[in-house]
A and B are shown apart, each in its own frame.
Chain A
């Protein structure tokens, strides 16, 4: 079925783009009254009618295939009722109807060709045919991946439409031009040679613009659908795209050769100019056209593959490059920068060599040597080991429940070697070939979650770490990774103060469920973009006076756009009743799941005191966090902390107002660790 789908879509795409190109050539070729040229025009017109008919038939077949895919029943492919439902209820259907309406109009127009009696008729006929063919081809963008791009779907679809039209005008024109060159180069086609020369030269000028358009819009499309280098080299979509670009290179080389060497030789007499050059150009242009058909086959496969941005990445190399690796080696940044400079000089020398023919060999040689040397110097400091799962994204959100599960799994499976606090000081690690990693060290944050997933799944044989792929399920391994991320972030969070550092969000506040009595639970992240959050972890009776103060200030805090959420650290039973009604405490007080939230945020609650170096230090009795609207924890206060404390409500409001003034610099944190 997939082979049928690819064949039908390829045929439809090739006919659609071929029609745009054919009409482009008819529009650009100018007018001739020579019999050979007229015969070619008539043949092209028949070709246009044939392509339109094939386009309509393949469109029906594509509709049948899509119906079978959408319904999941092969039998639905021939069910008119299912067709009608798809056409009436889907964007694919709307786009299909519009496109085929335009194509029917084009088919009717092409039947009027015989009435082309004046230059105005001619321009109107060909211009209208081009507009209809281009609209029919460009509208395909709204039924493909581009239309599903969020949030800039319209821009992506417009760029894709432009890409399709430009590619059609370029690729689709090749075979008609090859046919013209072939008949003009024949013995009997001498009368059409001036016409052919003018047509090819006219197209050559337009083709340059089309190539640039195809390259620019294609790059933009790739940005929308791929988004990153790992996705380009680690997904099926990315590989197909690379193959498409690789096939484009010989097309461009052929085009360059045609333009620079054969096009100037079309006029004149001799063994290598005039007719022989025309025949050769015809063959080369036909070869370009054949390669273009192959590229369209890859494009069809791309349209049936999930876009790389939404696919799971399988990194194919045993290494990757990251600047963070250089910063951890003495002299690493300097070496990497010097190497990069040498490589850039080499690259520039190569580019200059392309422009200066007499110095080309020298510049290419010197530039190549500088490029290789530069890369040899620059790359080692920025290289780190990588694995197939390095860029894999977690399937489990960074949520308090996951982190709490991870903590339990850590105690059961990891603490023996890595130590109860994650510092690599567990008794089981003593006899291992390499000491267990300190999971609280800053470098933990530089490894990707996918690296950790690989180590957890397959172990680290050189270090003596066993694999856990069989003992722990995939979700459990991601739970562990979420816990390790929180543990490592907590180490960095020890320096957090009650004062907001302007425009420096870095500590992602783990998500949790806000469950208050019978009210339906909602996630903390549902408050993002709308509310700042003052998160209060409390213990009764120690926190009672502070909670009373916050209850009285609740209206003020809400007026500044801040929601207060209180989480009990101790026994959560009857916590609302125990808070009492004087003064009324009206902000959300977590009644279910408080233990997981408290355990998670305890990891982020340690200060800089010497007793707090261990994550097993006694948890605080009361701690408060201020979260910005994007979901980052930005400040933390504990009673008794030095400086102006939040027990003076104005001090808290000042910090809230500082946050309120900020303009978000980037997107909210990803809900998955990466």
Chain B
């Protein structure tokens, strides 16, 4: 075979190899993306109950809404540390709470439908 044809064939093979490599890489990225979406979906799937335990400081108590506003630690897999209002399962839980109290609380539910199911003041 003529030399230029050999070179052309080698370049074609290289090009095809690159194309396949690119496509394989694209598929791999798509697969990883799907896996990530799946994992996220499973994490927040309706009906998949989860529980978080964290500490926080009481910023406000809104009995008319059955809500306590806390500046809280990270809630792993749900949200980072922030100031946030949470519904409280039982109004008795926030009885006796003062603004500025440091508390340990348990958050239960399937995001975004979560509520505080346990709450205890830490000793000052």
Question: B57 near A586 (CB under 8 angstroms)?
Answer: no
Q: Kindly state the separation between the CA atoms of A109 and B55 in the bound complex, as whole angstroms.
A: 68
Question: B83 near A586 (CB under 8 angstroms)?
Answer: yes
A517-B71, A518-B102, A586-B69 in contact; A124/B56 too (CB < 8 A)?
Answer: no
Residues of B41-99 whose CB lies within 8 A of A: 55-62, 69, 71-74, 81-83, 98-99
Binds B, one of A111-119, A154-162, A402-410: A111-119
Cβ of B61 to closest chain A Cβ, rounded Å: 7
Q: Is the contact region of chain A dominated by helix, strand, or loop, or is it mixed?
A: loop
Question: B69 near A579 (CB under 8 angstroms)?
Answer: no
Question: B59 near A584 (CB under 8 angstroms)?
Answer: yes
Q: Kindly state the separation between the CA atoms of A591 and B71 in the bound complex, as whole angstroms.
A: 12
| Interface status of B123 (Cβ within 8 A of chain A) | no
**Residues of the B chain whose Cβ atoms lie less than 8 Å from the Cβ of A579:** 99-100
Q: Out of A112, A115, A517, which one reaches B102, CB within 8 Å?
A: A517
Interface size on B, residues (CB 8 A): 30
Cβ of A494 to closest chain B Cβ, rounded Å: 35
**Residues of the B chain whose Cβ atoms lie less than 8 Å from the Cβ of A45:** none
**CB closest chain-B residue, reference A585:** B59
**Residues of the B chain whose Cβ atoms lie less than 8 Å from the Cβ of A105:** 10, 14
Q: Out of B6, B57, B62, which one reaches A518, CB within 8 Å?
A: B57
Binds B, one of A58-66, A266-274, A569-577: A569-577
Question: B3 near A124 (CB under 8 angstroms)?
Answer: yes
**Residues of the A chain whose Cβ atoms lie less than 8 Å from the Cβ of B59:** 576, 581, 584-586
Question: B3 near A584 (CB under 8 angstroms)?
Answer: no
Q: Kindly state the separation between the CA atoms of A112 and B101 in the bound complex, as whole angstroms.
A: 82
Question: B7 near A517 (CB under 8 angstroms)?
Answer: no
| Interface status of A520 (Cβ within 8 A of chain B) | yes
Q: Out of A116, A519, A577, A578, which one reaches B101, CB within 8 Å?
A: A577
Q: Kindly state the separation between the CA atoms of A25 and B61 in the bound complex, as whole angstroms.
A: 82
**Residues of the B chain whose Cβ atoms lie less than 8 Å from the Cβ of A455:** none
Cβ of B80 to closest chain A Cβ, rounded Å: 9
Question: A125 near B3 (CB under 8 angstroms)?
Answer: yes
**Residues of the B chain whose Cβ atoms lie less than 8 Å from the Cβ of A581:** 59-61, 99
Question: B7 near A519 (CB under 8 angstroms)?
Answer: no
Q: Out of B2, B55, B60, which one reaches A584, CB within 8 Å?
A: B60
Which of A112, A575, A576, A579: most chain B Cβ within 10 A?
Answer: A576
| Interface status of A580 (Cβ within 8 A of chain B) | yes
| Interface status of A120 (Cβ within 8 A of chain B) | yes
**Residues of the A chain whose Cβ atoms lie less than 8 Å from the Cβ of B81:** 519-520, 522
Question: B7 near A580 (CB under 8 angstroms)?
Answer: no
Q: Kindly state the separation between the CA atoms of A585 and B82 in the bound complex, as whole angstroms.
A: 14
**Residues of the A chain whose Cβ atoms lie less than 8 Å from the Cβ of B4:** 118, 120-121, 123-125
| Interface status of A128 (Cβ within 8 A of chain B) | yes
Question: B99 near A116 (CB under 8 angstroms)?
Answer: no
Question: A517 near B99 (CB under 8 angstroms)?
Answer: no
| Interface status of A240 (Cβ within 8 A of chain B) | no
| Interface status of A472 (Cβ within 8 A of chain B) | no
Q: Kindly state the separation between the CA atoms of A580 and B99 in the bound complex, as whole angstroms.
A: 6
Question: A112 near B69 (CB under 8 angstroms)?
Answer: no
Cβ of B2 to closest chain A Cβ, rounded Å: 6
Question: A577 near B11 (CB under 8 angstroms)?
Answer: no
Question: A124 near B7 (CB under 8 angstroms)?
Answer: yes
**Residues of the B chain whose Cβ atoms lie less than 8 Å from the Cβ of A519:** 56-57, 71-73, 81-82
Cβ of A573 to closest chain B Cβ, rounded Å: 10
Residues of B95-122 whose CB lies within 8 A of A: 98-102
Question: A118 near B2 (CB under 8 angstroms)?
Answer: yes
**CB closest chain-B residue, reference A576:** B100
Question: A109 near B7 (CB under 8 angstroms)?
Answer: yes
Question: B7 near A520 (CB under 8 angstroms)?
Answer: no
**Residues of the A chain whose Cβ atoms lie less than 8 Å from the Cβ of B82:** 519
Question: B6 near A112 (CB under 8 angstroms)?
Answer: yes
Cross-chain pairs A/B with CB under 8 angstroms, 28 sampled:
A112-B3, A118-B4, A121-B4, A123-B4, A124-B3, A124-B4, A124-B7, A125-B3, A128-B7, A128-B10, A516-B57, A517-B56, A518-B55, A518-B57, A520-B73, A520-B74, A522-B81, A577-B99, A577-B100, A578-B100, A581-B60, A581-B61, A581-B99, A584-B60, A584-B62, A584-B99, A586-B59, A586-B69
Q: Which 7 A-B pairs have the closest CB atoms?
A: A577-B100, A517-B57, A584-B60, A576-B100, A124-B4, A518-B55, A121-B3
Given A584-B59, A584-B69, A586-B60, 13 more pairs with CB closer than 8 A: A105-B10, A118-B4, A120-B2, A125-B7, A128-B7, A518-B55, A519-B73, A519-B81, A576-B59, A576-B99, A577-B98, A577-B101, A581-B60
